[in-house]
Structure 1
């Protein structure tokens, strides 16, 4: 029998001293609970992913010092085996580092394993900094249990479709009693189920039980949901740690039977998933909290238009920080409806937020007059006037952010960002976008979910029912410039995410596109949307990061040229 502690921690990228404290605290608790082995996530010492920090000599020196401190810490908790993820120096040709797993006990490295499969796709770019490890299995006897080790991507290729090397098969050939996999697996819709499916199939094929430990927390665009799990070959996933929060769980592995049990020998709680809207909510809240905390913000400011996007952003911000740390500012112009200001007041009253009013009409007029009186002899009209209003609002919000030290949250959704229905240096201003990976139809669905969970209309029905509008021109509606969102979103899903869509969502998108292709008008609509997406890459490249929620989000996971002709 082997007692194992799953240390699902939330490390901060580059905070080597802070991360080391997380390790030591977890190890002390593991020892108190009688564990033989404590398992941390991939690159747990540096946080995932340190990226070009690994090229900085100062960081390399600090990393060497942190490694020495880590070895010393293991001497303090001397009877425990630590499984830690670290970058280790690589001698010889190739990159300067390897992505490594170390098993340490009492200051001595008993085993090192270097990640073989280095993902370089979507949000990953490990080959930029790491040299692949050799094609070997690494196994260590701990007590009476033969334990084999792997790192994240090494376990995803058991069907041999993506790489020529199959580390899972190599490890299975070494005949361990148990596999321990350390991971930094970022979260998106459907990812938890994908992890379960991939590792359950491999464990069943090789008749091996597995411990999967994942990191948790928000890091720039990415959010890691934790959800570490245990697999037995026959039943599959038999336990899952908490999602979207740190967790430390000690359990028993019965070596002779190849099964897991709770620390006291009792049964393990059954894992449970989340429906999509609950998932979106938790992912965004954690992503915002960690992004703000790590960037030194404890308050946020949001421009409140009385529309659905700013309403959802404010509701999620209030959940993440509490209402007293969220400032809403409404900035009406002569094109703003009376209802928009009233709806903003009702929303903020429901959420318990402070609402400030800062009209922009005088500022817009003064800018227009100044431009007309200058040598430019230009008075903005049409689109230029619409965008001027958005930029005045963006400037005012950034001024409040500077003056009060609040993080400005941008409020654009994925549908609008995709087709460029946003103003550069206007409503794209901000430090983070919460809903930039939600299509407009999902924004409405998540608002309704929040109301259902609250048991009351946090977001007023008037906001949910009104036709979407930027309110930058008389009687303006989004549908003046865009197809209906119910149609647009399906086309965008097909264009942007394609085969990354799963199940019913993929079927719906393919069916919608097929129906459009049946007519000349529909084909023209698809071509128009495709062109809009391509032409507006320059806006997305300059926009703030967004919290990633789906399999392919704008940002690091979608690298698209700006100056190109491909539509």
Structure 2
């Protein structure tokens, strides 16, 4: 029998001392559970992903000191094997580092396995820093069991579709009793189910039990959901750790079957995880909580327009950081409707957060007058509309600087896609919570929050009102844009394409095909495509957004600004 402790921890990039302390704490729990092995996630020593910190000698020196501290710590429990992810030095030509898995025991490195398949797509860029490991399986005897080891991407290519090398084939040839695979697998819609499918198929094909240990926590735009699991060849996924939270849990493996640490049968694992809206809510909460904590913020401020985007942002912020730590500022201009202020008041009362009124009419008038005096012509049209947004953005940044609040932007993916936002205005801020949610999903998530709460946390009047930037009299979003149900289907087809779930892709493709079968519809699709291309410069200057879907703006979609797209 082999006892394995899965240490699903929230590591911080660059916090070597904090990460090693977490690992020592989990190892103590593993020892108390009489485990033979404690398993941590990919690059657990330094956190995933350090990016160009890996090019800095001082950072690598800190990693080496951290590794030496871990080696010293292993002597406390000489029989326990620690499976740790760390950058290590590479020999010969090419990159100077490997992304490695190290098995530490009693002050020694018992085994080193270097990651072979280095992802360089979507949000990943590992070839930038790492050299691929050799095409060889690494197996270590632990007690009576032969344990094989893999790192993340090495386990994703069993179909052979993405790389010429399949490390699972070599691992199967080594005939271990179990495969331990360490991961930093980011979370997005459908990703949990995809992991289960890929690793269940590999376990069944090779007749190998698998332990999948994942990182948890938010790191910049990316959120890791944990959800570590164990797979048996015939039964599939038989154990799953908590999602979106740290957990240290011990399993025992005997004759190819997993049990809880006390020998009981694990709870059945549901094929489907959270609903899409529940997933969005949990992912945004963890992403915001960790982003604020790691950047030194405890409080947030949001510009409150009385519209649905700011309402949802405030609701999520209040739920995550606590109502007392969130401030809303409403900034009516001469154009603003009375309803925008009234709805803001009602929203903040429901959420229990402070609302500050800061009218901007006088500031806008002063800008307009000075523009006329300096340049000899009146400020009008789009420039005047954008001025209001920029004054609001300035007010919010003044508040953020003065009181130490994190400014949260409120733009959604539909608006960011087509540039329906104002640079240095409503794009100001440190983090966007809704930037990977289409507008139709913003409405759906508001309804979900109200339903889950059993009351109108977000007033129905806000959900029902026609979307408007309120930068011109009687302005509506649909004056400039197609209806959001139409726009969002076109955007899904254009931006995410085959990275969508199959059903979602088929639906968007049929919708766009129907549009393009008519002259007016074809022109509309082309117009939306042009808007997306022309707005790249705005997205490049916008704050980071939390990734929720397979292809998000930011590192997940890298497009040139100055390019000819058609």
The normalised TM-score by structure 2 is 0.99
SS in 2 for 1:346: helix
- Residue 419 in structure 1 maps to residue 415 in structure 2: no
Aligned to 1:430: 429
How far did residue 226 of structure 1 move?
Answer: 0.1
1:385-404 superposed matches below 5 A:
385-404=384-403
The unaligned stretches of length 5 or more in structure 1 are none
How far did residue 68 of structure 1 move?
Answer: 1.1
Q: Report the aligned-residue RMSD.
A: 0.7
Q: Provide the C-alpha distance between the structure 1 equivalents of 2:70 and 2:92, rounded to a whole number of angstroms.
A: 25
Q: Provide the C-alpha distance between the structure 2 equivalents of 1:68 and 1:6, rounded to a whole number of angstroms.
A: 22
Aligned to 2:267: 269
1:134-283 superposed matches below 5 A:
134-254=134-254, 257-272=255-270, 273-283=273-283
How far did residue 77 of structure 1 move?
Answer: 2.8
Q: Provide the C-alpha distance between the structure 1 equivalents of 2:44 and 2:354, rounded to a whole number of angstroms.
A: 39
Residue by residue over 1:24-55, the C-alpha shift from the partner in whole angstroms, topping out at 9 and shown as x without a partner, is 00000110111110000000000000110011
Aligned to 1:3: 3
Q: Provide the C-alpha distance between the structure 2 equivalents of 1:82 and 1:304, rounded to a whole number of angstroms.
A: 49
How far did residue 334 of structure 1 move?
Answer: 1.1
Residue by residue over 1:190-219, the C-alpha shift from the partner in whole angstroms, topping out at 9 and shown as x without a partner, is 000111111111111111110000000000
- Count residues with an aligned counterpart: 564
The unaligned stretches of length 5 or more in structure 2 are none
- Residue 553 in structure 1 maps to residue 519 in structure 2: no
- Residue 325 in structure 1 maps to residue 325 in structure 2: yes
How far did residue 364 of structure 1 move?
Answer: 0.4
How far did residue 510 of structure 1 move?
Answer: 1.0
Residue by residue over 1:429-448, the C-alpha shift from the partner in whole angstroms, topping out at 9 and shown as x without a partner, is 00000000000000000000
Does 418-427 or 266-275 show the bigger shift? 266-275
Aligned to 2:561: 562
Residue by residue over 1:271-313, the C-alpha shift from the partner in whole angstroms, topping out at 9 and shown as x without a partner, is 2310000000000000000001000000000000000000000
Q: Provide the C-alpha distance between the structure 1 equivalents of 2:294 and 2:147, rounded to a whole number of angstroms.
A: 36
Q: Provide the C-alpha distance between the structure 2 equivalents of 1:419 and 1:73, rounded to a whole number of angstroms.
A: 54
Q: Which runs of 4+ in 1 moved over 6 A?
A: none
Aligned to 1:442: 441
SS in 2 for 1:88: strand
SS in 2 for 1:13: coil
Q: Provide the C-alpha distance between the structure 1 equivalents of 2:525 and 2:119, rounded to a whole number of angstroms.
A: 32
1:349-498 superposed matches below 5 A:
349-374=349-374, 376-498=375-497
How far did residue 235 of structure 1 move?
Answer: 1.3
Residue by residue over 1:207-247, the C-alpha shift from the partner in whole angstroms, topping out at 9 and shown as x without a partner, is 11100000000000000000000000111111110000001
How far did residue 508 of structure 1 move?
Answer: 1.5
How far did residue 76 of structure 1 move?
Answer: 2.0
Residue by residue over 1:324-358, the C-alpha shift from the partner in whole angstroms, topping out at 9 and shown as x without a partner, is 00000000011111111100000000000000000
Q: Provide the C-alpha distance between the structure 2 equivalents of 1:340 and 1:219, rounded to a whole number of angstroms.
A: 34
Q: Provide the C-alpha distance between the structure 2 equivalents of 1:128 and 1:192, rounded to a whole number of angstroms.
A: 27
Q: Provide the C-alpha distance between the structure 1 equivalents of 2:66 and 2:264, rounded to a whole number of angstroms.
A: 38
How far did residue 79 of structure 1 move?
Answer: 2.0
Q: Provide the C-alpha distance between the structure 1 equivalents of 2:267 and 2:41, rounded to a whole number of angstroms.
A: 22
How far did residue 379 of structure 1 move?
Answer: 2.5
How far did residue 518 of structure 1 move?
Answer: 1.0
How far did residue 69 of structure 1 move?
Answer: 1.1
Q: Provide the C-alpha distance between the structure 2 equivalents of 1:473 and 1:136, rounded to a whole number of angstroms.
A: 65
Aligned to 1:303: 303
